[in-house]
């Protein structure tokens, strides 16, 4: 089961649908409607932290989930979820020098985990105005 944390963004249901199409069992909870203890009892195989309209400091339980489960359960952050991961591990979310909206870029990877069976490099669409900067 893949736990999907909804940070109050409609894109979360696109993520859940894609997971289902790939044969996974997604379960969606809003970021203020689940506890760490409930997550422990669900025993998800993976966790996805969704996009949302806020900042990492306003993302409900998302940061606590990352703190608790990072290194134990694979976690993927999308948009705000990615920002939360960066924030939890000491990064700073800042405005990008150049916003990148609707641009495609080549992604080079190690062929492991989420990149398994993908071409290297592959072309991915980008749409962001913020970046996570290492401190």
Listed by start position, the domains of the chain span: 2-90, 96-135
If DSSP codes are grouped into helix, strand and coil, which group holds residue 74? coil
**For residue 6, with 0-12 CB atoms within 10 Å meaning exposed, 13-18 middle and 19 or more buried, which class applies?**
buried
As given in the structure block, the two tokens for residue 85 are: 């991961």
Look-up: residue for tokens 């870029």?
105
State the DSSP code for 134: P
Cα–Cα dist 17/21, whole Å: 6
pLDDT value of residue 114: 83
What are the CA-CA distances from residue 68 to residues 61, 116, 121 (Å)? 11, 26, 32
With a threshold of 0.85, does the pTM exceed it? yes
Query: Domain spanning 2-90 has what CATH number?
Result: 3.40.50.880
Per-residue pLDDT of the chain (135 residues; tens, 9 = 90+): 999 999 999 999 999 999 999 999 999 999 999 999 999 999 999 999 999 999 999 999 999 999 999 999 999 999 999 999 999 999 999 999 999 999 999 999 999 988 999 999 999 999 999 999 986
């Amino acid at each position: 089961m893949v736990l999907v944390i909804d940070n109050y963004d409609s894109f979360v249901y696109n993520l859940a649908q894609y997971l289902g199409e790939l044969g996974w069992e997604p379960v969606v909870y809003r970021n203020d409607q689940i506890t760490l203890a409930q997550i422990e009892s669900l025993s998800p195989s993976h966790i996805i932290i969704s996009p949302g309209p806020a900042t990492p400091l306003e993302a409900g339980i998302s940061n606590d989930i990352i703190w608790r489960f990072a290194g134990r359960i694979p976690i993927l952050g999308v948009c705000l979820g990615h920002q939360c991961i960066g924030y939890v591990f000491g990064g700073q979310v800042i405005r990008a020098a150049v916003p990148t909206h609707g641009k495609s870029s080549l992604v080079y990877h190690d062929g492991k985990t989420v990149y398994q069976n993908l071409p290297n490099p592959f072309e991915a669409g980008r749409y962001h105005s913020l970046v996570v900067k290492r401190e």
